[in-house]
Structure 1
């Protein structure tokens, strides 16, 4: 056949009887298949990346867990462990995979408990305490939570054991208990510090109160000592039978007549000073039970009067306090603790009223105290003429350690402790700004039942 009679080899319409339109359609389909393959490959790569990220995330979780983790198949053979378990057992992942979990247990009793737990594990899991052998082959108690694993079809395929060595829990509990004890000791020290501050104010008042009668007694005793020397010299001359002229001379020189006339007043003054001192000590003893839980019938008028008296004598001699005792009002409580509360309120009122004002108007510190017995409730109000309480401080005024005083001038515990004491007495302590100016503290206490015990 000549070349002129052969069909062209390059014409698509001549290949196997396909025309040009069919060939174009085949090429288009091939391009679509290729594009889909590219898309599928990209999606597959994305899925692989996500899978790798998920595996890395799970691996990081297992590594970071401080609790031990073991995943077993339905026969109790180890499939997966975490770093905490491998570190405890002292074995590698390869050495553990496929081994029975029972090999890690310390004794036959633990193995039997494990077998029973696996045979009877509920679908939601259970707990069991087992002893694992550590790297030194020493038993370590571990509290395990057992959770069953299921396939997509819902069939049991194994269990997951997650637990924490009880030794670690015991150490954590021991550390927590030590921290709690340290906190209690610190709290007791702070309470003691605040009580010492209250006691310091009380002692300052007592010292000032005792100063006058003791000074008077000391002055009289010194005078009596001088008189004793004169009497000894004069009586010595009489015993030696000195002449009448010598006795008269000594009598005039030693002023015996004046001495004898002055002795009664000296003795009377000394007794009065000693009695005044005894009265102060006796009054102090009635309010010295701050650290004891003793409770009795307490006259609120007397406690208020003593609180005002001791604060003024101790730290605020120029404090103008407007108070007058009213009708008898008795409550059942601890006199020493109530005195501490009232002294704290009076002292705080003085500290607030003595603060300098921004306006430059600084009136003399003053306090108005009122007691009212209304039915079964005694109400005491303390209103000062200070600048009042800032609105942002009103909600925190009784919080522990909160204080607006300069550093070194207050612990921030006085009002908090007072609040607690009042609550222990079944009462209520509140603070507000008085409409007429200054701060006002309101104390309510239940009145003692006259028919009770």
Structure 2
């Protein structure tokens, strides 16, 4: 044990790990180097393209702008090379960048250059030859040595155009200034479209490459230092996790094994590589254990034979039980999908034949229909044994030869029929299968009883559904949470009228209108346990809701039957009757009062006239006029009372309501213009005639317009009168709307009452709207008032039904 050398295994592990780490370091350093080199290549190419763009822009500017401008400004024989030569200017501009510390290299050279400094050199001649060999080649780029340093070089050819030959063609055509400065020996003789020059741009890369190498070496050094630390940590963990466990393993072997073969395994641990020695030792130990196992196998052969025989029996029994379970599962699935007894037996009998290897099967119903079912189908009714009554009464199976008769019933006290199975001749049913058949008979009886109950329940449901659907008023079954469980057709129609959908949940709008309920009514009815009724207003519709609580559900949650009755028409009729009674009572009072007071007022007016004309002097005349004025006002009030109490019998006829409204508005237009109020009339297209009295319609519009003019503010007032057809109701709707303060909500119900007025005392009698109400009712119409940015009066008059189509679409 003392010679156990952990360093052998550790040395192999560290050498292998070091090789992997070294390869990874080389890979990452190379990747970094190539990545930085790629970035450098991209940058120098972009810089070279930028320099070419600058040179091209300078030459383009000289050729297209500066040179034509100079030619136009100078005499014909004058030529300024510093301002008119594109080559000279581009070199001059780029030479200013060619400082000692500059990183750029620029040359524009040519064969037979005018200036010897720009004569093409041998390296550039190679590039020129390359361009001449490839006429379509626009650029060349690559890395070259320039002045002993590495540069990225980009070059493009220079082709002499016609405009260039003025200075580089025949010396005779050249400007004198060029000949005086350079002579005629160089720079001339170039031909049109000749490729005789190059533009070369160079970007130094030597320093950048050096920096890349330095960065790569620094990364490699940092990586090496990290790997040394990594190796130290790995060595510590290796000793802790591997070598310590190896020592524990060998110690355990020595404590457990003391046989000679086992001790030879331990001796292997003291030689060479620890892991290989352990593996070899364990292989020998495995061989030893294998021999021991062979001996044990020989001792257990007899026992195995017994186990095989018993296992075969158990396997056969398990297969039969699985078949029984599968049969019950299939029967259960079929029973769930069956809707009547015929479907149940049609599904079940083939399964029974298959499970018990029978030739045929059948069921004979001994009650009710006295029918039978067979498989295969079409077989005659099975013959029953002589003791079939005992089978039914005692609920006991009967077996004879190759036939079996099993009672089918939900319990031993009630048997509904007999299940019949027949096998091939000389075939006997197993005893253990008899118990299964008896259990099947009981389960099939329960299924038949459930199907009967389900059919009865469905019939009851259909009958109840028919009753609920036949109720004309909306009827719903709701839970305490406000969810609709069931609703009849009337409730669905109500839901559509409330929210535009046919969903049951649309009726829930009845319980959310205006915060009518502190808690949901069904929940409240459940708490009280009593019938609850509520009145709910939804827009201009009115409903009475009755909730009948139904106990049940989980955690005390129940349901409620909600009965909804639309009382909108009843309320309108009640309001109309109340208004009519008010008008009748006030009419009788007004008739008597007007009759009794009209005569004294006539006497007062008569004597006031006499007093006004007979007494000399002017002192009493104003007093007499005041008496006449107020007496006349009182007579007008009495006349209104008489008109209200004894209205003339309305003579109704076909009437163009749009024209009548327009005529009535023309009377008030002068008054409206004087007050600065805008009057608007909107009449729908194709408006049909109505059955009404023209004088009544004019009086109604006049009273409403007068009230509207009194309500609106001068200069900003606006009164809109509209007429449109409500084809569904067969009515023409007149609307008079203003942008005044509107009618207070508390006055809406009293607005049509006689002598009720919102005006100041002395400004109105309170009979105008009462008269309007009476006139509309007499013509068979209806009037409503509301607020929408001001007061809105809506008068509905019936369409003349004698017209084509009856006024409806």
Q: Aligning the two structures, in what range does the TM-score lie when normalised by the shorter sequence? A: 0.3 to 0.5
Radius of gyration: which is bigger?
A: 2
Structure of higher RCO (CA pairs closer than 8 Å, 6+ residues apart): 1
* TM-score computed with the length of structure 1 as normaliser: 0.35
